[in-house]
Chain A
Amino acid sequence: MKRSEDDILDENPADNVLRAALSANDPAAVKLLWDRYAKGLLAYLQAMLCSLHDAEDVLQTVFVNIVRQRHRLARARNLDAYVYRIARNEAFRLIGRRKKTKEPVKESWLIVPERNPEPDDLAERLQAALEHLPQSQREVIVMKIYGQKTFLDIARILELPQNTVASRYRYGIEKLRTLLENLL
């Protein structure tokens, strides 16, 4: 009998440990949550918000919300999707606030190691090109390139069909190719 992806996901040992800690109301679950999600969430939030500081602030709100909703998270069908949904909602809330105040975001959220022989302004140019992309394409590219996630992982997290994720990635890359033509 063929097993669904959700069944496989539920059998993930890390999931079970986390669920057990959440169900037991053990505060040690916060550390497990951090180890598992902090890096990926921060990358995702930076892609959404184009700012490290805002991403860190939202990450704190996300963790607080996760803790408040821990009983629901423990019973969630897909832990990753649940956590990223909270992050997405919080990010959109901040984007909405920004639109109201009309604050421009001028912050470096992409870095290039100094030993790299590439032009000095590579990070700036990549960042500017990424910021030109629609948010839906940018989040997929950032998760794939910087979060090192597969299309399947991203599809599960965003609760989208894998083909949609792949096409968003492809369209995003096409746009970036046009924007960064002189660097290629």
Chain B
Amino acid sequence: MNDAKESQNGKLEKLLRKARLPESSPEVKDRITAEAIRVWNHTSVEQSWRIPFLRLAASAAAAVLVVCLANFTGDHSVARWKTSGPSVMRQQVPELEILPEMPYVKHLTAISRVLPATNGSGLRRYVETVRKLLDEVQQNDVSKPTAPIGGGSRLYPDRSRSSSCS
């Protein structure tokens, strides 16, 4: 079986060898060698060394361009979600910093954490509680004028006292 296959393969190779590939004409040889010599004379060795460096520089420039374009298009596409006015600014008022320490703010925070379900009656109850609390705070302010909301602070020295010392 294998011998038959081998002999057939041998025949096939012989058959293939009966054909041949056409060779190039002398004109083709002249054309190609003339073009090659022309290119040879136009590219010095120094120039041919420069080609990879030029390619590298071009690739780097292209990469920078792509990154810049990506940045630009990215900014452009998210622009509509950006706030038009100034974004959140840090409050410099010292009273705000001590707000979380105040007892009623703590209480408000505690209440807000246990905010009931967002149904109508629950919200109404919540608003009433907050209102009651604010009323209490207001009353406290009236009864204690040196309360730390507007004027003094527990953290900062009393301005009137400090000015009197100076």
Contact = CB atoms under 8 A, between A and B. Distances in A.
Interface stretch (B18-26, B76-84, B88-96, B117-125): B18-26
Contacts of B36: 30, 33, 60, 63-64, 66-67
A19 to B, nearest CB: 14
A104 interface: no
Grouping DSSP codes into helix (H, G, I), strand (E, B) and loop, the B interface class, with mixed when no group exceeds half, is helix
B144 interface: no
Interface stretch (A1-9, A37-45, A149-157, A158-166): A37-45
- Of the four ranges (under 10, 10 to 19, 20 to 34, 35 or more), the interface on chain B belongs to 20 to 34
A126 B122 CA distance: 91
B32 interface: yes
Interface in A85-141: 109-113, 116, 118, 122-123, 126-127, 141
B48 interface: yes
B41 interface: yes
A60 B27 CA distance: 12
Interface of A: 25, 27, 30-31, 33-34, 38-39, 42-43, 46, 52, 56, 59-60, 63-64, 66-71, 109-113, 116, 118, 122-123, 126-127, 141-142, 145-146, 173-174, 176-177, 180, 183-184
20 contacts: A27-B37, A30-B37, A34-B29, A39-B23, A46-B21, A56-B28, A66-B36, A67-B39, A68-B48, A71-B45, A110-B20, A122-B19, A123-B19, A127-B19, A141-B16, A173-B9, A173-B13, A184-B8, A184-B11, A184-B12
Shortest beta-carbon contacts, A-B, top 6: A63-B36, A30-B36, A60-B32, A112-B19, A27-B40, A67-B40
